A and B are shown apart, each in its own frame.
Chain A
Amino acid sequence: MSTCNRLREEQLLLFAYHEEEAPEVARHLAQCPACRARLEETREEARMVRATAAALAPVEPPAKLIRALRAEAALTATKRRRRHRAAWWLIPASALVAVVLLFVGLNPRGQRQPDETRLAGIAPLNLDRIETDLDRRLGEIGVPGDGTAPDGDLDAWISDPEADLETAALAPATGDEALAPSIRYEPEASLDRIEVTLVHLEKDLGLEPAGDDPAKGE
């Protein structure tokens, strides 16, 4: 019989065990008697090997090993069931705890306040305190804080110009639009106001500026 080596033995083995019946192998086998004979020989060997394997005596493992493994499996399954039961009520309970923590964390005082509102809420408090403090101090040195000052908003600016600018920017729209312009920082005008205020203070304290008062004689 002529020989043909077109198909490798590995291809024939896969074909004989029906693991891979590639179309190109099947096409070649259909037209090549030599390779068909090789395939038949491989199939015969496979049958012989299968019979050999079937004739091998089965070996039973020791019973103690099986008992130990069954016990281990029972333990594993029991743990799994316990976890499953625990998880059953832990999931909703955890979700509830998470919601409560989220609520408390976001709203420690029991009411929700956006950041802007909270910051703006601080500003009027500071202004009030500053105003009160300034009024008190001016009162102590005899300067009236009731509008007789050169400008009604001067005291607010003196306290902290930067803070006032910030306050103005953060001030909520209250409808009282007079607030914002009153605390706007205008360097030249403010210097004039400081000067006037100092004059008032010196006058009230009895400290006349030397040579600056034309009414005062030499």
Chain B
Amino acid sequence: MSSLLTQEVPISWYLLLSAVLFSLGVAGFLIKRNLITVFMSIELMLNAVNLSFVTFAHQWHAVKGQIFVFFVMVVAAAEAAVGLAIIIAVFRARATLAVDRIDLMKL
């Protein structure tokens, strides 16, 4: 038990968690049929990447890693704002949030 309490976590576990979260995000992007949920999967992907950045920053004592995460967050915020505004505009035009129904770009 004491060993369990004092045991450290290998870096690779963090990275594996990040990889799994990322692939879950991609899977969600492919599976979900609601436009907003698809967008949420994208946010999930971004978070997964943030985790791996922080992990590497921890390992190598690199400040720039954490600063990058900071910038990713800023960009994700801006992107979320604009993306949701687009979703609202699409909803107004097409009256549907189903991904498969929004196919005006079909050849």
A, B: real partners:
no
The interface of chain B, by Cβ under 8 A from chain A, is: none
